[in-house]
Amino acid sequence: MRIYDLSLTVSPSMPVWPGDPAITLGRVAKIEEGAAANVSRMELGVHTGTHVDAPFHFIRDGSTVESLSLKILIGRAYVVHLNDDIGLIMPEHLERARIPPRTRRVLIRTRNSKQWTKDYRTFDKEYVGIDVSAADYLVKRGVKLVGVDYLSVAPFKDATPTHISLLKAGVVIVEGLNLSQVPKGRYNFFCLPLKLDKSDGAPARAVLMGV
Amino acid sequence: MRIYDLSLTVSPSMPVWPGDPAITLGRVAKIEEGAAANVSRMELGVHTGTHVDAPFHFIRDGSTVESLSLKILIGRAYVVHLNDDIGLIMPEHLERARIPPRTRRVLIRTRNSKQWTKDYRTFDKEYVGIDVSAADYLVKRGVKLVGVDYLSVAPFKDATPTHISLLKAGVVIVEGLNLSQVPKGRYNFFCLPLKLDKSDGAPARAVLMGV
């Protein structure tokens, strides 16, 4: 069975959200210098690369990432493809995508995914995000997990309303997915974020498998 | 369907391998101080908590963690229970555990798992590890993934031979699993490590589900 790896490779050269901590990744012990083993160390913001947002990211007394339910992070998902000319995702775009009834997890592929097929290194403020009205639409449909293919679910210039709409409703947000290789349709989705104590988010590995 | 979360919660108070980097986890932006969002940052060794070892951890020209096959990290696994009086895992202990033929992934529960049910904070050098002869036994049986319930697959005083035996044979090593709640038997295992560029290991989230 084919496994689609949706995860971005974490490296110091990948783009990060402006103002977020820089990424450091390097060895602190090296076999060639006489150590018994190679041992690396990492330093990064928890919203780096492929990652999840917990309610506490935008909600003062929201729950934190170690308490997100694995029953939401794992299960059937529907992958939607949106046209490359869409710059801001509105409810009508999602309507037209014909998401099947009772879909609980939606992964949205946009032109953003093309960035991950090349060696992009700079943060792109013109990425495609979800308007708050479309976030409200997904909540109203009973969606419990939304995955997007850039580093934020919301448009760059107006990040707060979309996040609040989803997080307040208990929707798990997965950001930084590489959906470039994935045909639209139904899959089994596995998103496993690090279990970071009392954190507002966590880096994750995310895969899709056939149903 | 029940999901067993085998992952340790990552926090600065958890034990780390002596000499490995300390864990830092804290917010760099706070809503209560006027920021739009809470944003945390993490700093840790890649062999912290629940994690995988890549061949490069002990083998100079070994492959690195981002290239580990998801087809090994995901699939059927067999959970073995060993008696609490076993201090070093030998081939006869594994023989007696009656691992089914053609098992490719073995997770070994020992008395180590009890540590994760309490609030242990100090590193325990007396943990149960796998002797190199038992590692060779697993390789010979065709096992491709070995999971253990302390921070190393090998005994503290002789870490290298066990690691080399497994890693040289292309066996993926998963360390730091909390198996305290898991009955012995067959499961579907999902171990998703962060996709860290050219790293000797990576923190992971690992779960079991019923077959």
Indicate the SS3 state at residue A83.
coil
User: Residue B160 carries which DSSP code?
Assistant: H
Give the predicted TM-score (pTM) of the model. 0.97
Q: Are strands B105-109 and B145-148 parallel, antiparallel or unpaired?
A: parallel
In a domain, A185, yes or no: yes
In a domain, B22, yes or no: no
Residue A211 reports pLDDT greater than 80: yes
Per-residue pLDDT tens digits of chain B, which is 211 residues long: 899 999 999 999 999 999 999 999 999 999 999 999 999 999 999 999 999 999 999 999 999 999 999 999 999 999 999 999 999 999 999 999 999 999 999 999 999 999 999 877 899 999 999 999 999 999 999 999 999 999 999 999 999 999 999 999 999 999 999 999 999 999 999 999 999 999 999 999 999 999 8
Neighboring chain A residues of B201 at a CB cutoff of 8 Å: 39-40
- Cβ atoms of A43 and A23 within 8 Å: the answer is yes
In a domain, B176, yes or no: yes
Q: What Å distances lie between residue A14 and A17, A48, A117, CA to CA?
A: 10, 9, 13
Q: Do A3 and B206 touch (CB under 8 A)?
A: no
In a domain, B18, yes or no: no
In a domain, A202, yes or no: yes
Residue A13 reports pLDDT greater than 90: yes
A20 inside 8 A of chain B by CB: yes
How much of chain A, in percent, has pLDDT values that exceed 70?
Answer: 100
Q: What is the CATH number of the domain that holds B109?
A: 3.50.30.50
Instruction: List all residues 6 or more positions away from B83 whose beta carbon is below 8 Å from its beta carbon.
Output: none
In a domain, B38, yes or no: no
Q: List the domain range (segments joined by +) for residue A50.
A: 3-8+46-210
Count of structural domains within chain A: 1
Could you read off the pLDDT of A176-188 as tens digits, one per residue? 999 999 999 999 9
Q: Do B38 and A58 touch (CB under 8 A)?
A: yes
In a domain, B200, yes or no: yes
Q: Do A58 and B47 touch (CB under 8 A)?
A: no
Residue the block writes with tokens 């943990």: B127
> What are the catalytic residues of A?
57
B88 inside 8 A of chain A by CB: no
A136 inside 8 A of chain B by CB: no
In a domain, B14, yes or no: no
Instruction: List the single residue in A32, A192, A200 with the smallest CB-CB distance to B192.
Output: A192
User: ipTM of this complex > 0.90?
Assistant: yes
